[in-house]
Structure 1
Amino acid sequence: MPALADVHVMINHFPVILAVVGTFFAVVALFVKRRAVWQYATATLFLAGLAVVPTFFTGDPAEEGLRDAWWISRRAIHTHEQAADFGLWALIITGLVAAYAWWRLRAPRPLAPSTGEPGTMWGAPLLPTWLRILVVVLGLWSTAVMFRVAQLGGDIAHHSTILQTTPRPAGVPEQGPPGRPPE
């Protein structure tokens, strides 16, 4: 069974990807006005709101696992952690609004011919205009927030300034751990 620090690394992309995909399809749904596209967009944004919770709560164990790594900047971890606090609430709020919109879309629709009004399907409205706009705006907002959280998370190791400016400590092999062939 993987440690919680490893779980964070395994699942941290799900909230970001789900937010991007859900927001993309919410924007598409504004133009195509298809109930199925709205259902997919709202369900995906709801899943993003769910996925952010375990990702957030496995962050502290991941931080503990990096505590003694010489190449990790404590400041980078702290900055990522602060952004993640904000990202958690941004995606939870988006997920809750998306869940409400998804619930509104699940109601059975009459199979009468369309009235021809914009935003209707089979004579019944897709979602109120205010709710469609709110889903898209919150999706765009939370996607931008999660992009920043992910960028700061990647900076912890991938763009570590310590690796770029500090010489390797004595005793640390140049090519990696002992027994590993050179790349």
Structure 2
Amino acid sequence: MNLNAAHIHLLVNHIPVFGTVFAALLIAWGLLRKSEDVLRLGLAVAVIVAAGTWLVQLTGEPAEHLIAGMQDVQRRIIHQHEEAAELSTWVITAFGVLSLITLVLVHRRRASGGRALAILSLLTGLAGAGLVARAANLGGEIRHPEIRAGFVPPPPPPRPAGAPRGEGGERD
């Protein structure tokens, strides 16, 4: 295994992608079921995800330097990914900060302010989830042209003479 900057970035970039959705779902479930325990869990997960999102952000620049000179890597796509990732990082950070404040209010039994902030946290988390999904897709486009807009798959390679044509096993 070659554990370099790009590999580390690829390993940790799933934290905000899945963690933000998971935290938002827990917060929503806690609000809907009026379960303080589930709400606290969702808020705590949001704080952890926000911290983990900064790990992703910090590994992005070294990963960029590692792959920037590779063939078929377009700087334009890297830049788009970087810009989208930065925006999503700040929104997920706001999600984490709001969740931390909400967690303190819920812990102190200030239900009115806690519920309103929990709803605001949830909305911020949903926005962050959408933004980080876009950033992740742009990141995938860096090395996966098959997910880029306008991709046309190449024609299949020619079949060797005598090879079966398809499911039926017919021969030439």
TM-score interval (norm. to shorter): 0.7 to 0.9
Q: Tell me the residue number matched to 1:143.
A: 129
Q: Which amino acid in the other structure matches residue 82 of structure 1?
A: E
Matches within 5 A, 1:5-20: 5-20=6-21
Query: 1:70 aligns to what SS in structure 2?
Result: coil
Aligned counterparts of 2:116 and 2:40: Cα–Cα separation in 1: 16
Of the candidates 134, 139, 144, which is equivalent to residue 158 of structure 1?
Answer: 144
Aligned counterparts of 1:56 and 1:16: Cα–Cα separation in 2: 13
Give 5+ residue unaligned stretches, structure 2: 155-172
Of the candidates 131, 140, 145, which is equivalent to residue 117 of structure 2?
Answer: 131
Aligned counterparts of 2:112 and 2:30: Cα–Cα separation in 1: 10
Q: Identity across aligned pairs (percent)?
A: 27
Task: Give 1:101 shift.
Answer: 1.2
Matches within 5 A, 1:14-163: 14-107=15-108, 125=111, 128-159=114-145
Deviates most, 136-145 or 125-134: 125-134
Aligned counterparts of 1:73 and 1:128: Cα–Cα separation in 2: 46
The TM-score normalised by the length of structure 1 is 0.74
The TM-score normalised by the length of structure 2 is 0.78
Give 5+ residue unaligned stretches, structure 1: 110-123, 168-183
Aligned counterparts of 2:121 and 2:92: Cα–Cα separation in 1: 12
Query: 2:145 aligns to what SS in structure 1?
Result: coil
Deviation digits for residues 31-51 of structure 1, max 9, x if unmatched?
101011101110111111101
Aligned counterparts of 1:85 and 1:51: Cα–Cα separation in 2: 14
The size of the alignment, in residue pairs, is 149
| Alignment root-mean-square deviation, CA | 2.2
Q: Tell me the residue number matched to 2:164.
A: none
Q: Tell me the residue number matched to 1:115.
A: none
Q: Which amino acid in the other structure matches residue 157 of structure 1?
A: R
Aligned counterparts of 1:32 and 1:127: Cα–Cα separation in 2: 18
Aligned counterparts of 2:113 and 2:44: Cα–Cα separation in 1: 14
Query: 2:69 aligns to what SS in structure 1?
Result: coil
Moved over 4 A (4+): none
Alpha-carbon contact 1:22-1:42 (below 8 Å) kept = yes
Aligned counterparts of 1:133 and 1:18: Cα–Cα separation in 2: 18
Deviation digits for residues 65-110 of structure 1, max 9, x if unmatched?
1122112111110100010111111111111011111222334x6x
Query: 1:58 aligns to what SS in structure 2?
Result: helix
